[in-house]
Copies of this chain bind each other. A is one copy, B any other.
Amino acid sequence: MRITVLAGGVGAARFLRGLRRAAPEAEITVIGNTGDDITLFGLRVCPDLDTVMYTLGGGINEDQGWGRDSETHRIRAELAAYGASPDWFTLGDRDFATHILRSQLLADGQPLSAVTEVLCRRWQPGVRLLPMSDDPVETHVVLAGSGEGRVVHFQEWWVRMHAETPAARIIASGADRARPAPGVLDAVDEADVVLFPPSNPVVSIGTILAVPGIRAAVAAKTVAGVSPIIGGSPVRGMADACLAAIGVDTSAAAVAAHYGPELIDGWLVDDQDKAVGDDPDLAGIEVRALPLLMRDLPATTAIARAALDLAFELRGARR
């Protein structure tokens, strides 16, 4: 069984832990968002790839959802003592080692996909982790309100500004010229089904789909998605601020309609959003309701299994 998953950070990483348990024999390929990537202190940081890698490899800070376990912050303190900026992005000492090695390999001329493979040799995440592209894509935010017109890196908006200044537009800068990383289109083409975990539909899954070729490849497959919105709120993070920027309501129904039946075939919503199934806007999308909170591994495994079952059921029906 071949499953391909488009992944953002924390939500996707946790979903994948359940998926690995739900389908232990499956070949799982994860196409990771790299639009969140940022160069800090000259080092290339790939938050989403690392969150997936650390989570599946047993090196994640479980409470936080991102960063390394048993982390310390001595380098950060030193850089602050030097007056180096920025000071708003927290990188731990163990995490720094990953960025140092990645940056060294990139500087040596290796593409990000090859570098990610090297890093995964240590972590053995049990999935094949591919960056969406080896070409640099960076999500930028055009501010509205008090910051009107100013453009900031997504991380600055998200981490430093807590997405409190509204976004007028969110741009996947460089996406139009980016090529899918080696293996990405094949992984979609050869997949039995494609899954969207409960990741941010704008800056995670939306950015991956913005790389030319990926959306069309995904649209040709049977796709089941898990709503990142429960009862009108993001389960985690500030997806509402991103959805507002593209004029989409923060609701399970609106996100499904945003993807649309040409892209997704099935949609899992939380029990409290059961009524979404009757939404006439979602004609052509099979909606199922179940408890969607990934509160522990058994609950997460059940959600992953439901996504998989729905996808395979719809795939059978399509044939």
Contact = CB atoms under 8 A, between A and B. Distances in A.
Interface in A113-140: 118-119, 121-122
Given A82-B119, A107-B42, A119-B82, A74 B101 contact: no
Contact of A97 (B78, B103, B107): B78
Given A74-B93, A94-B78, A96-B96, A101 B84 contact: yes
A93 B92 CA distance: 11
Contact of A101 (B41, B98, B101): B41
Contacts of A119: 82
A91 to B, nearest CB: 10
Interface of A: 41-43, 72, 74-75, 78-79, 81-84, 93-94, 96-98, 100-101, 103-104, 107-108, 118-119, 121-122
A122 B82 contact: yes
A72 B72 CA distance: 10
A75 B107 CA distance: 19
Contacts of A84: 101, 104
A220 B273 CA distance: 87
A89 to B, nearest CB: 14
Contacts of A74: 72, 74, 93-94, 97
